[in-house]
């Protein structure tokens, strides 16, 4: 009887081994090197404002800090456009921070937003980034 119990325990353990898996690896790891262009628009009360720059942190949904060195990528604006193109990005989680200038109130504005680019994304993805005084 003792060997029967050992055999049952052994078979149960063998049957459970396939169900013990490592945590699934992330399919989307944010960063450069992809084929997606994020087009980020700073919006102050839903109104477009002139951007100065976009600061991007990869693989997080939280603001990393308040200085450029806290971010993975800083992209200055083209002064003729109301948005910034972030080319060659991959799917994944990003925190996008922008600063700019609202000419209607003559004040600098800033703000950020977490954004998850899905695995199915292709081409250009437009993202409104809320900013405030």
Considering only the C-alpha atoms of the chain, give the largest distance between any 2 of them, rounded to a whole number of Å: 87
Q: Give the residue extent of every domain in the chain.
A: 24-130
Residue positions counted in the chain: 133
Low-confidence ranges of the chain (pLDDT < 70): 1-26
Give the integer Cα–Cα distance in Å for 24 and 89: 22
Phi and psi based region of residue 91 (left: phi greater than 0; alpha: psi -120 to 50; beta: remaining): beta
Give the integer Cα–Cα distance in Å for 66 and 89: 23
Residue 90 carries which DSSP code?
P
The CATH class of 24-130 is mainly beta
pLDDT at 26: 66
pLDDT at 25: 63
pLDDT at 3: 52
3 SS3 class: helix
């Amino acid at each position: 009887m003792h060997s029967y119990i050992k055999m049952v325990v052994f078979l149960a353990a063998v049957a459970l081994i396939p169900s013990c898996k490592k945590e699934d690896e992330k399919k989307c790891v944010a960063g450069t090197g992809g084929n997606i262009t994020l087009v980020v628009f700073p919006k102050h009360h839903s109104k477009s404002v002139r951007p100065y720059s976009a600061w991007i942190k990869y693989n997080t949904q939280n603001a990393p800090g308040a200085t450029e060195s806290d971010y993975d990528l800083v992209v200055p604006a083209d002064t003729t456009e109301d948005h910034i193109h972030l080319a060659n990005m991959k799917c994944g989680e990003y925190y996008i921070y922008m600063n700019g200038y609202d000419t209607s109130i003559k004040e600098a504005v800033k703000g950020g937003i977490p954004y998850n680019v899905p695995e199915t994304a292709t081409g250009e993805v437009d993202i409104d980034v809320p900013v405030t005084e």
